[in-house]
Amino acid sequence: MLVLAGFWTFGVVLLVGSLYGSVASDQFQSAPTCSPGQVFAATYCRVTVDATVTALTSDQVGIDVGGRQSSIEANLHGPLPDDAVGLPVRVTFYRGTAVHIKGGDLNFDTEDAPVDRTDELRFAGLFILIGGTLLVGILALRRSARLANSP
């Protein structure tokens, strides 16, 4: 019973956590618009500006925003376009950090983009609740069968 209580407690914690899993995403959506001078400032605002790609690998994107160079961490999958260098793009900055890049064949969130973890936490919580209950039930049935068969 103690194991079942542990699974249930952990599952409920994940379900409650799912209620707060989208806070960062909600804050991003409701952030006020920055002035162009605040693009790289850590103030609570967002802005989308024109930029040019200066380098592109599967884990880094180099951009030029009005003469200022920036290197951004990304996690790109699949083949990368060969003609990305020099490509004009639109870059969304949030709190001074690039969070989204779009232009040409590129359209992706960066590693610093706020994410919505609601679904992941909810599914994990349900899996722990249901899976833990099934596991404890199976173990209890096996133990009961063993005790019934012992002399």
Express each pLDDT in 109-129 by its tens digit: 898 888 767 788 889 989 999
For 93, other C-beta atoms within 10 Å of its C-beta total 23
Q: Please check whether residues 124 and 140 belong to one and the same domain.
A: yes
Q: Please check whether residues 49 and 33 belong to one and the same domain.
A: yes
61: DSSP letter: E
| Residue 61 within any structural domain of the chain | yes
Q: How many residues does the chain have?
A: 151
| Residue 56 within any structural domain of the chain | yes
For tokens 């806070």, name the residue: 23
Q: Please check whether residues 74 and 46 belong to one and the same domain.
A: yes
Counting Cβ atoms within 10 Å, is residue 128 exposed (0-12), middle (13-18) or buried (19+)? buried
| Residue 151 within any structural domain of the chain | no
pLDDT of residue 107 exceeding 80, the answer is yes
Express each pLDDT in 43-71 by its tens digit: 899 999 999 999 999 899 999 998 999 99
For tokens 């003469």, name the residue: 67
Domain span including residue 75: 24-113
pLDDT at 62: 95
Express each pLDDT in 5-21 by its tens digit: 888 898 899 888 888 77
CA distance 60 to 54: 11
pLDDT at 116: 66
Rg for the chain, CA atoms, rounded: 24
| Residue 17 within any structural domain of the chain | yes
Q: Please check whether residues 29 and 86 belong to one and the same domain.
A: yes
CA distance 38 to 30: 17
Q: Do 124 and 114 meet the contact criterion of CB atoms below 8 Å apart?
A: no
pLDDT at 25: 81
Amino acid at 79: P
| Residue 30 within any structural domain of the chain | yes
Q: Please check whether residues 70 and 93 belong to one and the same domain.
A: yes
Q: Please check whether residues 92 and 136 belong to one and the same domain.
A: no
